[in-house]
Amino acid sequence: IIVFQLNELKKIRTRFAEKRELFDLKDKQLVLQRFGHLKLRMKCFDIVDHLRYHNMCVECIRNLPDFETILNADELVQLREVMDRAVKIIDMYIDVNNNRNNEFQLLYDEEADTRWETQENEWYIEYEVWNVMTEKLMDSYKSILKDKLNQVLTQVTDALAVREQSVKELTSFTTKFKTDPNLSALLTENVYDLMSEGIANGVEK
């Protein structure tokens, strides 16, 4: 289960990185847009779409199979709180950019061109917040899973060590068994023959 979740988390992380690259590519293409107010609005649309994908990543982690059973009570509470806060922050920025879009509709191109530079700086700061927050969430869950996997591997290693010790003790016992002439016979002769021989000897006596 843990390995499966680690693999699924890796897929989520890969898709997240691909989506971020696509967002960056769209961002670069906006430079070619002539009309300032359209450029601002398109940026808002792209950001809202990107933020919704952030939300989807959080939900994908929350909906991983056995998500609740693999964590202890404290881990589950803490991780849920982090996820809930992340979703609230993302939703807040979605609302902010929807409101910005409404505001940008009313701007003339000259005003929009002036606004673009300052707004770009704001977006850059916000962009770092979204990405770092979502990445840290994925990294935190990955660390939890790796710790649990290490615990399982440690238990397996300990169990193997016990088995190896048991095999060594059995081998040592067998070696001693063979060096004793009387006991060694039990390993090389038919037990029933030995019993018959003993009975015959008893009759002779």
Domain assignment present for residue 163? The answer is no
CA 188 to the chain's CA centroid:
57
Model confidence, pTM = 0.69
Note the pLDDT tens digit of each residue in 153-179: 776 676 666 676 666 666 666 666 566
Domain assignment present for residue 120? The answer is yes
Domain assignment present for residue 108? The answer is yes
Note the pLDDT tens digit of each residue in 4-45: 888 988 999 898 888 888 888 787 777 666 777 888 899 999
Domain assignment present for residue 169? The answer is no
Domain assignment present for residue 44? The answer is yes
For residue 62 the two structure tokens come to 């929350």
Q: How many domains does the chain have?
A: 1
48 pLDDT band, cuts 50/70/90, is: very high
Domain assignment present for residue 166? The answer is no
Percent of the chain with pLDDT over 70: 73
Domain assignment present for residue 171? The answer is no
Range of the domain at 40: 2-144
In the predicted structure, residue 119 carries a pLDDT above the cut 60: yes
Domain assignment present for residue 155? The answer is no
